[in-house]
A and B are shown apart, each in its own frame.
Chain A
Amino acid sequence: MDDIGEEVAADFREALQDLSTNARFEIVTLTNIAKENANHGLAIAEVLTQHIKEAPASKTLPALYVLDSIVKNVPTPYALFFGPKLYQIFMGSYTKVDSATRRKMDEMLKTWKEPIAGSISKKPVFPPDLVRPIENALLAARNAYQDKFQSQQQHLMRGRPVGPPSRATPTPPMGRAYQPPPHGQYPPHGDQPYPMRSGNTPNGMPHRATPPSAGPHAHYQHPPPSQGPYGAPAGINIDKLKDDIQQLIQLGTAEFTQNMHDDSIKTRLGALLKLQEILQSQNLPQEQLMAINDQVAQLAVNMRAAATQPQPPPPSSYHPAALPPYNTTTHTPTPPVVVSQQFAPPAAPVAAAVAPAVQLPAVLAAALGRPASNVAPVPVAAAPPPPPRPATTGGTLSLDSILGQGALAALLAAKKPATPQQTATPVPPPAALAALRSPPQQTPPFQPPPPTQPAANPLTQNPSALLAMLRQSGLLGGTPSSAPAPIIPSLPPPDPNIITLTSASLKLPRLHLLPYLLDHLGPPCSQCGRRFPTSEEGKKKKTAHMDWHFRVHQRVAEAEQRGQHRSQFVSELDWIQSHEEPDVDYNAPSGEGEEGSESDDNDWSGGVRGGRKGGKGKKEEKKKRWIIAPDEGGVGGVGDGGAGVNKVCPICQEKFQSRYLEEVQDWVWMDAVVVGGQPGMGGGGKRVYHGSCWDEVNAGVQAGQQQQGLTLLGKGKREREEEGEEEIRGGVKRLMR
């Protein structure tokens, strides 16, 4: 690969890592980059493949959408590049994401079988022989899952990647489990020459400013020009449906013959036959086909009994209307209106709310509010920058967008500080409250009726007028940033003796004390609700606190790219000596400064007792030594098929243990050396030894090991084996940094 290609790939990788939501414009941008650099297509495809593989579950879907978009807009050459790896890419992602995302992936997969929307070509996005193995695997997985479904594992496995049958191996980080395609016809690596060189091939597709796949990206602002590929009607193939039903009928018949007395089977079989009849005789509209398809898919899940890979997709995973209740709704391919309702606060007002309250340099505040730059994402920013909100709110000027959310409430509260009747103010019945949905009206009910209150209601149609009135009445300063200022920084502490520890005294409401837990502590942090006083010191603390948030957000993003693990607890002594310091990051007991807390040097024997002091140097001397386990792909690992290679170390007579090594995506023998040639070639005279055994025999027994004695030889070897593995894992992590 030439330098430019590498550069492009590196840039692309960086851009991908920042992609945390499926914001349409980001996906379009990435698609355009891929299009413009189609001559470096292979590099870009590799970067994207790698990214999808390594990305944390939350970032996988956006990355897949990028792939989808690229393939649909620039099919040549990208469809060719991704094609051979499609199975691994898709299944690898499928195993790590949650069920909501899986539904999205199912939908995407469906579109891959269709021609590209708006294209003249009738060729599907990916040829059927690439998509079908995936579908088969998914169906098999669903069946397997269904078998297990009734067992209590349900919530255990929720959103949890499930790897291949485990062996004596570390779980691959993030539970990524890659399985070879079932038919084995795909080359595992995509670096073989491709029939078409990208550079010379003119793009067959005219570039569309609006990718056809934009429909599913939640923030797409206009209705798709054509029936988008993810739109409901496009997805149903009657022939396939008929096929499925036919298969189910066969299955059902078999089941019925085995279990003649089961009425439910009979009913179901009858229904299926009827359904088949209907399908063959009538021309049903698309939405009915959809419904049938759903039912059939569920039925298939219920009926088929085959198991390769247990996965928990929800049975109704084809149902496009089933929106998950949480944040991932941004990923949903529903029309934008729905999305905008679920995300009422657009990013801009949130950012506005952050800015005055935070009192940070504008840059930082902006970074916190908007992830679009190269900064790590923060929760506030989950709502994408160009929200379709204005359309739904009718374009009126929101008071909150001027003042910041809740600023009015703060103002009003500050006007009448801490009087008992403040909280005792009668509030409107809940129904009325629920009706008051728009932000300017939301807060007043809980505040003492301010002088402007009577005027406020008629004025809500025109927040600017309300603003003007507030200014006039002196409630509001000239600039919004003065909003939090009127809060009284501190009050004298309450009289300690007013409460006594008796039931009667404790039951007496003392509402005037309440503000000590709320407003008197200062305005809250927008990220975690912690309050900071408005005094000089408080501001300093808050700045440090916001910096901490910022740092952590950044590092969370970084950490997602590596594996994380639970730290061991500290010893008694360390606990006693530890000091809780707000806004200082926790350091694991190994204590090597900030980085140390995230180092991989945190095992059971390390840490507090220093049991492994100096071990690291030794580890670094140790060269990593492993060979691919000779029995390729066999589930039994080193078991049987190893083409003439010895499975036992000739020196210590112990079997080689195979482990899965993420780095090479294969099973390896750790601490193994080949003496005399490559074992895979099957030639004679080549033998595999434990690296450590080989060294010991050849270099002579060293002084230190002599002390251990011969009986410990085996143990020493195993230890080194593990260290070697750690070394490799560390190396992988370093690579990923």
Chain B
Amino acid sequence: MSIPGLGQITAQQSSAPATRTVALHPFSEWRFQISPASTAACRLVAGTAERDGTELAQNKTYSLTRCRSKIVSFTGATLEVSGEFESENVKHSPTPAASPFVAYLNLHFLLQARRTQASQGGNGQGPRVMICGPAATGKSSLAKMLIGWATRQNEQPVLATVDPRDGMLALPGTLSAAVFATVMDVEDPEGGVGVGCTPSSGPSAVPVKLPVGYYFGREKVEDDEQLWKDLVRRLGSSVRAKTGGDQGVRRGGVVIDTPAVDFKKGEVKVKNEDGQQQVEQGGGVEGLMHVVREFAVNIIVVLGSPDLEAELRSRNNKSTLGEPIEIVNLDKPDGVVEQDRQYLLSSRKALIKDYFFGDSKRALSPSVQSFSFDDVVIFRAVDGLDLDDPPQVLERAEITEEMSHWTLAVMDASVNDPLETIRQAPVIGWVCVSDVDKDRRRMKILSPVSGRLTRPMVWGRWPEPYVNLLG
């Protein structure tokens, strides 16, 4: 019934949609987008299905929120779904051969064969795979799938992200790596690599993943290329040390997700005389080659860019370990969602919130403490406009209101360490400045754990702060 004149006030809450059944043929995908404000549930009723390489358990109700993802079935499946979706559709593949997953699966089986070979003879070093390509070609997705599949076959591969925008098991702006030996979290909005999957003081129903991360604090590699390269080197050497010390991990190899490089033939302007000039067009490729060197990459998977493939082929073709570097270009799967800025922004916010407050599965209690300006040591990168200067170094940041709502990285270093050491130190966590009182020279800091902040903190320039976490 309607009441005269009151109809214009629309209800915010739509009534809950009923449960539907989604039938997936072999090699078809169910794609969905769920807004941060709503949740949806999904249950595998029959068949097999997986998200990002991790199988769904049958008859378990998974609850999903704020994600743009897909559930794939290779053998056919029936899903029961309910909840609110921004959009969802089933993408059928007429024949398996038409599905991009065929190539991905084959790639996995090839890597698996290489792992077996490596442990049977040679140095026991599994494949180091770098995945690269232009934006929105499904790089991270493929990386997650390769990791998920390997984990299923009892491998312990390393997943490394050198794309500062992603924030794998870390906040955005961080380069990180972790060994994956256990089931990934299907319910995690980031597909099992969100910061919500990192350890907390309590138990976790899905095994947590332990990352090592280095804080870049910028959105794009070009924003501070020298630091990025330094951090890639640090990350690479940590991963090398890890694979060197652990046979299982060595066999598992490394999968590296890289920043988008949109390379077009004829636009390369590599100026060898001046390293800094490479930033212009071919800079991305140079960055990739840096990754290839630091991680001793021996397999490069290019997604959807024959030009990039050709360019990489023309470069150095021996890995750091002396093996030939194999390069392959795979088609960009259609239907990869171009992540708009708004979505990325909101998911970054959500990640930061997850870090401090936990996700739907576990509520965390961060502490808010008040510190005197003199009790904290906060550094910030010197704005290096002068390109001739040697690498930008840190300086003590002046604490102002401007710092409110920024997240600061807490570095695993001592405040008295050389600045260069602090800059390249691994991150042990983040805090969020919730309030700065300049008159009283005190600031309120939201921190996952309580206690003094004796470690140096670094104030990055990205991700941008957003409204008060404490509401």
Asked if A pairs with B, the answer is: yes
Q: Are A567 and B201 in contact (CB under 8 A)?
A: yes
Q: Are A566 and B200 in contact (CB under 8 A)?
A: yes
If A154-B37, A434-B23, A564-B365 touch, does A571 touch B428 (CB 8 Å cutoff)? yes
State the CA gap A328–B133 with chains docked (Å). Answer: 42
Number of interface residues of A (CB under 8 A): 159
Closest to A582 in B: B182
Q: Are B12 and A162 in contact (CB under 8 A)?
A: no
Q: Are B455 and A556 in contact (CB under 8 A)?
A: no
A449-479: which residues lie under 8 A (CB-CB) from chain B?
Answer: none
Interface string of A282-307 (1 = CB under 8 A from B): 00000110011001001100100000
Is B378's CB within 8 Å of the partner chain A? Answer: no
Interface size class on chain B is 35 or more
State the CA gap A500–B200 with chains docked (Å). Answer: 42
Q: Are B365 and A506 in contact (CB under 8 A)?
A: no
Q: Are B210 and A586 in contact (CB under 8 A)?
A: yes
A547 smallest CB distance to B (angstroms): 13
Residues of B within 8 A of A (CB): 1, 3-6, 8-9, 11-13, 15-19, 21, 23, 25-27, 36-41, 45-48, 54-61, 63, 66, 74-78, 80, 82-84, 90, 95-97, 102-103, 105-110, 112-114, 116-117, 149, 152-153, 156, 170, 179-183, 186, 198-208, 210-213, 238, 241-242, 245-246, 248-249, 299, 326, 328-331, 346, 349-350, 353, 355-358, 360, 362-370, 375, 410, 412, 426-429, 434, 442, 444, 447-455, 466-467, 469-471
Taking a contact as CB atoms closer than 8 A, the residue among A423, A510, A569 that contacts B429 in the complex is A569
Taking a contact as CB atoms closer than 8 A, the residue among B117, B179, B183, B248 that contacts A528 in the complex is B183
Q: Are B452 and A722 in contact (CB under 8 A)?
A: yes
A317 smallest CB distance to B (angstroms): 8
Can you pick out 24 interface pairs between chain A and chain B where the beta carbons lie within 8 Å of each other? A163-B470, A171-B367, A299-B6, A325-B40, A325-B83, A325-B84, A341-B18, A443-B46, A446-B76, A493-B113, A496-B114, A501-B107, A506-B107, A507-B102, A524-B55, A556-B202, A565-B200, A566-B364, A566-B448, A567-B201, A570-B210, A576-B242, A605-B451, A611-B454
Q: Are A576 and B365 in contact (CB under 8 A)?
A: no
B18 smallest CB distance to A (angstroms): 8
If A605-B451, A611-B454 touch, does A310 touch B471 (CB 8 Å cutoff)? yes
If A434-B23, A577-B245 touch, does A719 touch B210 (CB 8 Å cutoff)? no
State the CA gap A170–B59 with chains docked (Å). Answer: 41
Q: Are B426 and A443 in contact (CB under 8 A)?
A: no
> What residues of chain B lie closer than 8 Å to A287, measured between beta carbons?
1
B372 smallest CB distance to A (angstroms): 8
Closest to A580 in B: B181
Q: Are A316 and B96 in contact (CB under 8 A)?
A: no
Interface centre among A327, A565, A606 (most CB of B within 10 A): A565
If A427-B26, A569-B426 touch, does A528 touch B212 (CB 8 Å cutoff)? no
Taking a contact as CB atoms closer than 8 A, the residue among B66, B199, B205, B328 that contacts A586 in the complex is B199
Q: Are B212 and A315 in contact (CB under 8 A)?
A: no
Is A393's CB within 8 Å of the partner chain B? Answer: no
Q: Are A171 and B45 in contact (CB under 8 A)?
A: no
Q: Are A516 and B153 in contact (CB under 8 A)?
A: yes
A318-354: which residues lie under 8 A (CB-CB) from chain B?
Answer: 319, 321-327, 329, 341-342, 344-345, 350, 353
Q: Are B205 and A564 in contact (CB under 8 A)?
A: no
State the CA gap A344–B54 with chains docked (Å). Answer: 25
Q: Are B202 and A564 in contact (CB under 8 A)?
A: yes
Interface centre among A287, A350, A382, A516 (most CB of B within 10 A): A516
Q: Are A405 and B428 in contact (CB under 8 A)?
A: no
Is A206's CB within 8 Å of the partner chain B? Answer: no
Closest to A566 in B: B448
Q: Are B198 and A569 in contact (CB under 8 A)?
A: yes
> What residues of chain B lie closer than 8 Å to A586, measured between beta carbons?
199, 204, 207-208, 210
Q: Are A162 and B467 in contact (CB under 8 A)?
A: no
